[in-house]
Chain A
Amino acid sequence: MDNLLQISNGERVERQRIPHVDFARFFRIMNDFIHNNGYIVQFFAYTDGGRTKLLAVVRNSNLFVITTEVDQEFPSLTLTVGSKFHLFEREIAEQFGIRPAGHPWLKMVRYHANYTGKKDVFGNDYRDDIPGKYDYFQVQGESIHEVAVGPVHAGIIEPGHFRFQCAGEEVLHLEIQLGYQHRGIERMLTEAPQKRLPIICEAIAGDTTIGHNLCCCQAIEALAGLEVMAGARTVRTIALELERLANHIGDLGALSGDVAFNPPANYFGRIRGEFLNLLLVLCGNRFGKSLIRPGGITQTMTREQRDLISAKLTELQPEIVHVCDLLFSAHTVQSRFEYTGTVDRKMADQLGLVGYCGRASGLEYDVREFFPTERYADLPPNTNKVANGDVYSRAMVRREEILHSLTLIEMLLALPKEPQQNETMKNHPLAPECFVVTLNEGWRGEVSHCLLTDSDGRIARYKVKDPSFHNWTGLAMALRNQEISDFPLCNKSFNLSYCGFDL
């Protein structure tokens, strides 16, 4: 543990204070930390004066940071330390052309040329288009068949490719290949003028507009030394909870639709819209785009908005309780939800699942409780009662969080009047040679942004991590030995972001 620098969420740290160790030592430290109930928040490569370095932010009940240096190749941590590293190492290989030697399954993440111009680790020619250019893992056997789905799916959803290896109806293996939405966001965030940063971050994943933009703005606030007024913090917290409510409610409706129980599907579909409309009341946009900017919020919450939100919550609360009861007490629903798509605690822990996917498997991690930002330190945490790791548990966690979020918003609305003012986007000078990592509990789980500035105060590296980055592998594991007909249900119970993953 010595050699790891303890930091806090959203704290500005001078880069020279970050411990820098040789790779052998880094390896040992990671090994000890991860085997002692430790998890990875960020693990990425960056260049520093022509040298390639790796930076890791890890957590147990505290946050730590450490860096090391690598050359063309480094011994894979996935192989010996654990699966938590597997996607991070593949990402490092793809972005910087460095090989994690011995990685058990080194394949591309998002299909793009690396940043450094080094020889491609995967041997891809990026002038070729992505579809069909990859040898999927195959199961051999007389009665084995393969099902390929995507990138364009049979619905209004994002693109991604799913490859199932099946024996009859049973799925032996599911391989998920994403990257179709790759927009080169991390590089754009280092090249674009500062005024574009919140707009880009709001579009990392539209359903997590508040979560991602909050991470971005908190990071800029830390680097620029900006204070945020209490009233603005309250509004930001309300917005993050409204986002959670809209998505959880929408997903419960979609789960209901996936088991062909139409009444709750329609009711929740409409109620979800009511919460999006409350975000529109706050800021003029149904997804909360434009609400948060470095230093505060663009539009204050006056008595009018407060009353509108309060009245709507009072109206919707009993409806939500009743429709939840309708959904969860139907035995046809229970029989489809229970024991479907189970990820047990051990597996969830190995993969490092976050958010409701982790909590439904018994991993009690919630950024709001562990590393609180905004107003969360003053608010009560949620506890989950059902944690069996199946679709039912993931749905129940949503139900509990919906009621919890409603209570939180009521508490925040009842606060006495606090100072707040309209902020506009300005160009804030950032502290040079600094590092900051921000974490927030978006509705899917831990959203995290990490920024490194250079000697001129420019952003040298901007690293984004959506909770989906941890959880997609969880979905693949949930499908093992399930019937392929349960895929939509399992998929919706995770409801992961394609664009948040693809960046």
Chain B
Amino acid sequence: MFKVISNRLEQGYRTTTYPKEAIQLYSRFRGLPEINDECDPAIIRQCADLCPQDAILIEEKKIDLGRCTFCGACAQVADGAFVRFSTNFEMGTSRREDLITEGTLPDLAAHAKGHFKKLFGRSLQLRQISAGGCNACEADINVLNTPFFDLSRFGIDFVASPRHADGIHVTGPITRNMQAAVLATYEAVPAPKVVIASGCCAISGGPFHGGSESLGDLNRLLPVDLYIPGCPPHPLTTLYALLAFFKK
């Protein structure tokens, strides 16, 4: 008993004040990219050649954040002449095409569908489905239940049964061997329901894009309502996207 108390005192209170107060991530974190549209096209081509995800659109001078793993290879070219990554973790869109960006994203709160807020704004229960990812996404969702993030204080919970859920949160490139399970889980969620694609795998196949054993895009299976980019999305990115889409 004494050890329980002494450890409790040592650990103290750890929960973040975000979103009430801003939070600054370490300078090496790669969040929303900043793009220089006056950049020399030769450098942009160099970035595109280097990009392992083929996420850079040369003509449009844009990056597809649905494909990007935020590996930062392009930011190393010519000392970031075309792209630099800011530490802004607040990313998420309600339309796939908005992820193809020149460095800005539409206001998620304004674009969010009104009826989701009305339906789930005070209580949101999600069923997570891991559909072939590398478990990094899943791990950084689990983290939201640790004391620092404490997701439950916002009335958002991940639940065991799809019958208790308001929607599904999908990670991974949707392997062939998981397609049936994804559909069965979706069917088991009572309508109205929401579909969230989290991480570049679920949005575009991510590192596995073009692979023959996975679908590579959740949208080909189910209508997606919310996209959360990243590889994996930082827990704060997920927290931001859920709060902006359902709460604000």
Residues of A within 8 A of B (CB): 110-112, 129-131, 151-152, 154-159, 179-185, 187-188, 192-193, 195-196, 198-200, 202-207, 209, 263-264, 266-267, 269-270, 272-273, 276-277, 280-287, 289-290, 298-299, 308, 319, 322-323, 325-326, 329-330, 422, 424-425, 497-499
Contacts and interface: CB of A to CB of B under 8 A. Distances in A.
Contacts of B207: 196, 199-200, 202-203
Interface stretch (B1-9, B93-101, B104-112, B240-248): B1-9
A367 B149 CA distance: 36
Contact of A183 (B70, B76, B158, B173): B173
Given A157-B138, A273-B143, A289 B178 contact: no
B7 A267 contact: yes
Contacts of B53: 199
A308 B172 CA distance: 33
Interface string B80-118: 000001000000000000000000000000000000000
B71 A290 contact: yes
Nearest to B69: A199
B71 A289 contact: yes
B139 A179 contact: no
Interface of B: 3-4, 6-8, 10-11, 14, 25-26, 28-30, 50-53, 69-73, 76-77, 85, 128-143, 145-148, 158, 160-162, 172-173, 175-181, 185, 201, 206-208, 210-214, 231-232, 234
A152 B69 contact: no
A131 B52 contact: no
B50 A285 contact: no
Nearest to B230: A285
Given A156-B128, A285-B70, 7 more contacts: A154-B161, A181-B172, A183-B175, A206-B136, A263-B4, A270-B147, A326-B7
B206 A156 contact: no
B231 to A, nearest CB: 6
Contacts of A179: 177
A499 B134 contact: yes
17 contacts: A159-B181, A182-B177, A192-B210, A199-B53, A199-B69, A202-B207, A206-B232, A266-B147, A270-B148, A272-B146, A273-B146, A284-B28, A284-B72, A285-B231, A299-B28, A424-B77, A497-B135
Contact of A287 (B85, B160, B232): B232
Given A111-B177, A199-B52, A319-B10, A182 B213 contact: yes
Contact of B3 (A183, A209, A308, A325): A325
B28 A280 contact: yes
Contacts of B4: 263, 326
Given A156-B128, A188-B208, A267-B11, A206 B3 contact: no
A263 B178 contact: no
B213 A129 contact: no
Contacts of A422: 76
B163 to A, nearest CB: 12
- The 6 A-B residue pairs whose C-beta atoms are closest, nearest first, are A206-B136, A154-B160, A184-B213, A206-B134, A129-B180, A269-B146
Given A183-B175, A270-B146, A424 B50 contact: yes
Contacts of A181: 130, 132-133, 172, 175, 177-178
A180 B146 contact: no
Contacts of B175: 180-183
B232 A184 contact: no
Given A156-B141, A498-B135, A130 B231 contact: no
A422 B213 CA distance: 35
Contact of B180 (A131, A277, A285): A131
B64 to A, nearest CB: 15
A164 B131 CA distance: 23
B193 to A, nearest CB: 16
A152 B10 contact: no
A156 B130 contact: yes
- Which interface residue of A151, A203, A287 has the most chain B CB atoms within 10 A? A203
B28 A499 contact: no
A155 B73 CA distance: 34
B108 to A, nearest CB: 22
Contacts of A266: 11, 146-147
A130 B11 contact: no
Contact of A158 (B28, B138, B232): B138
B6 A281 contact: no
A200 B201 CA distance: 11
Contacts of B212: 184, 187
Nearest to B231: A289
Contacts of B132: 180-183, 499
Contact of A286 (B134, B135, B140): B140
A187 B208 CA distance: 11
Contacts of B140: 286
A284 B211 contact: no
Contact of A156 (B14, B138, B181): B138
Contacts of B52: 193, 195-196, 198-199, 425
B128 A284 contact: no
B135 A283 contact: no
A263 B12 CA distance: 12
A308 B25 CA distance: 13
A199 B71 contact: yes
